[in-house]
Amino acid sequence: MTDTQSLHSLPLFPLNTVLLPEGLLSLQVFEVRYLDMARKCQQTGAPFGVVALQSGQEVRKAGSQTEQLHAEGVLAHITQLDSPQPGLLHLQCKGSQRFHIQHCWQLPHGLWVADVNMLPADSHIAVPPHLRSTAYALAQALLNVHGSDPEHAQLPTFEQMQDCAWVANRWTEMLPLPVRIKQQLMTLDSPLLRLELIADVLDQSGIAGTPSTKN
């Protein structure tokens, strides 16, 4: 690791899901390649990278095809690590900054590592009036999901409700969209465009009652 713009030999955790900045992720870890990685990251406070799979499986099996990874991912920081039994770890992680893989390779025991360049953090853009119903619907959806479990709740603050990136990212996590669509949304550099695309999905589904025309 040399500077804040690039990371070298970043350990990767390929998944059939997309982690987004400030998103929460729970993992059950039992493969040797990830047990060692998780313990080292926990001890040093270093992140690992979560990347979505283009093909292949999360768990390695004899004769399975080599994983193909998307080029962009998000750093994950371990916030809690529990070991309920030998050979099993439960991780609670939080996403931070997006990155682009420059070069990746596998170590002998199967762990993917990569040299990555960090992507710019999302700009703080206020939710415009024609998209506010999207933010209100998100607050209600999060309350419905987490209201009975305050310990693990991710209920929004007033500032988060006003931020295009935060609202768009939480909807991206919650909606039953294909992984490739979530990946495309995560990689968009414009938080406003990301939220507008999410609003289109919500409008079509009738979830948020977002207007089809912009005021």
| Per-residue model confidence as pLDDT tens for the chain (215 residues) | 334 588 999 999 999 999 999 999 999 999 999 999 999 999 999 999 999 999 888 777 655 667 899 999 999 999 999 999 999 999 999 999 999 999 999 999 889 999 999 999 999 999 999 999 999 999 888 888 766 555 555 577 889 999 999 999 999 999 999 999 999 999 999 999 999 999 999 998 877 654 443 43
pLDDT at 165: 97
Helix (H, G, I), strand (E, B) or coil at 42: helix
**Alpha helices in 155-190, H assignment, sequence order:** 158-161, 164-174, 179-187
pLDDT at 35: 95
Helix (H, G, I), strand (E, B) or coil at 162: coil
What sign does the dihedral 43-44-45-48 (CA atoms) show?
negative
Query: Do 194 and 123 contact (CB within 8 A), yes or no?
Result: no
Domains of the chain, with CATH numbers?
A: 6-118 (2.30.130.40), 129-205 (1.10.4060.10)
pLDDT at 40: 94
CA distance 144 to 5: 38
pLDDT at 215: 38
CA distance 117 to 96: 14
pLDDT at 65: 66
**Three-class DSSP labels, the chain:** CCECCEEEEEEEEEECCCCCCCCEEEEEECCHHHHHHHHHHHHHCCCEEEEEEEECCCCCCCCCCCCEEEEEEEEEEEEEEEEEECCEEEEEEEEEEEEEEEEEEECCCCCEEEEEEECCCCCCCECCHHHHHHHHHHHHHHHHHHCCCHHHCCCCCHHHHCEHHHHHHHHHHHCCCCHHHHHHHHHCCCHHHHHHHHHHHHHHHCCCCCCCCCC
Helix (H, G, I), strand (E, B) or coil at 22: coil
Give the predicted TM-score (pTM) of the model: 0.87
pLDDT at 3: 42
